[in-house]
Amino acid sequence: MKKGKKLYEGKAKIIYATNDKNLVIQYFKDDATAFNNQKKTTIEGKGVLNNRISEHILSNLSQIGIKNHLIKRLNMREQVIKLVEIIPIEFIVRNVATGSITQRLGIEDGTILKEPLIEYCLKNDKLGDPLISEEHILTFDWATKKEIDKVKKLILRINDFMIGMFRGVGIKLIDFKLEFGRIKIDGKNEIILADEISPDTCRLWDSITDKKLDKDRFRKDLGDLIPAYTEVAKRLGILHEQSNVSAVNVTKLSSIKRRKK
Ligand code: TMP
């Protein structure tokens, strides 16, 4: 597979063309941003961990019949994915109230929700990804009713699966963000899961201590983001001693780079 020109650069990933018009390469950067790009830095090794963790979750989802864009991981930072037309909506799924919803609605942090709550945000950096309703989506044709109904069903299956997967390794899935894309498969229009699922896009708390193992370590200046992401990868059984992305290597790499600065 030949890597072609850059097609798109987002805050944490870059998309490159390939010699196959239906496939693109997704490159995971080390850049971390929060609060719509107001806070940003580079965290050595984050992209490597997100690439591995997202590959693991998406391939597990595909094994339970949730179609997604992942073809295969290419190397430490890249994966081959199917080219889709991204639906311009961030689908937020919440099991426990924390983050923006606690401030927006005055809900107490840590409140367990009686049902998973789905929220929609318009993917528009200039507007700060505003919260929207299903009616907005239909009025402005961002997606059809059929697409939204399909996505909602997929989201609930993904949430159930991921809650169980994380619970099995001592982690609570508090909330997360999903993106979906349109694609033609065998001449049929389909909606598949796209983007990434990683500690950048989920809130993950240790089941016993509630320690944050996700991007809130950066958002809230808690430090030790790489050890936290490494912990998630290790618990999921992704990192092995012989792997180049072992906890020690990633931590060593970042501390060496830090000392050099
Ligand atoms: P929030 O509490 O800031 O609205 O975030 C809810 C979840 O969605 C949390 O797991 C982080 C994730 N998220 C993203 O992945 N990207 C985003 O741009 C935002 C705002 C949230």
Amino acid 255: pLDDT: 45
Amino acid 256: pLDDT: 41
In the reported structure, the alpha carbon of residue 97 is separated from the centroid of ligand 1 by a whole-number distance in angstroms of 12
Amino acid 260: pLDDT: 42
Atom of ligand 1 nearest to the CA of 200: 15
Cα of 221 vs its chain's centroid, Å: 20
**Rounded percentage of the chain residues whose pLDDT exceeds 90:** 90
Ligand 1 pocket check for 73: Cβ under 6 Å: no
Separation between Cα atoms, residue 6 and residue 89, nearest integer Å: 23
The best mutation among 28, 54, 175 to test binding of ligand 1, ranked by most ligand atoms within 8 Å of the C-beta, falls on 175
CA dihedral 200, 204, 206, 211 (to 10 degrees): 60
pLDDT tier at 259 (50, 70, 90 boundaries)? Answer: very low
Ligand 1 pocket check for 129: Cβ under 6 Å: yes
Distances (CA, A) of 23 to 70, 104, 130, 191, 244: 10, 39, 30, 16, 26
Per-residue pLDDT tens digits for 58-76? 999 999 999 999 999 999 9
Amino acid 171: pLDDT: 98
Ligand 1 pocket check for 119: Cβ under 6 Å: no
Separation between Cα atoms, residue 133 and residue 208, nearest integer Å: 35
Cβ contact 181:86 at 8 Å: yes
Distances (CA, A) of 160 to 77, 165, 218, 229, 259: 28, 9, 27, 22, 42
For 260, residues 6+ apart whose C-beta sits below 8 A from its C-beta are none
Q: Which CATH architecture has domain 87-206?
A: 2-Layer Sandwich (3.30)
**Which residue's CA lies nearest to atom 7 of ligand 1?**
176
Ligand 1 pocket check for 201: Cβ under 6 Å: yes
Does pLDDT of 253 surpass 50?
no
Amino acid 246: pLDDT: 46
Amino acid 242: pLDDT: 44
Q: Which CATH architecture has domain 3-84+226-255?
A: 2-Layer Sandwich (3.30)
pLDDT tier at 254 (50, 70, 90 boundaries)? Answer: very low
Amino acid 105: pLDDT: 98
Amino acid 85: pLDDT: 98
**Which residue's CA lies nearest to atom 4 of ligand 1?**
100
Identity of the residue numbered 27: Y
Per-residue pLDDT tens digits for 141-195? 999 999 999 999 999 999 999 999 999 999 999 999 999 999 999 999 999 999 9
Per-residue pLDDT tens digits for 192-241? 999 999 999 999 999 999 999 999 999 999 999 999 999 999 999 998 64
Amino acid 36: pLDDT: 87
Per-residue pLDDT tens digits for 98-135? 999 999 999 999 999 999 999 999 999 999 999 999 99
Residues in the chain: 261
Domain boundaries, the chain: 3-84+226-255, 87-206
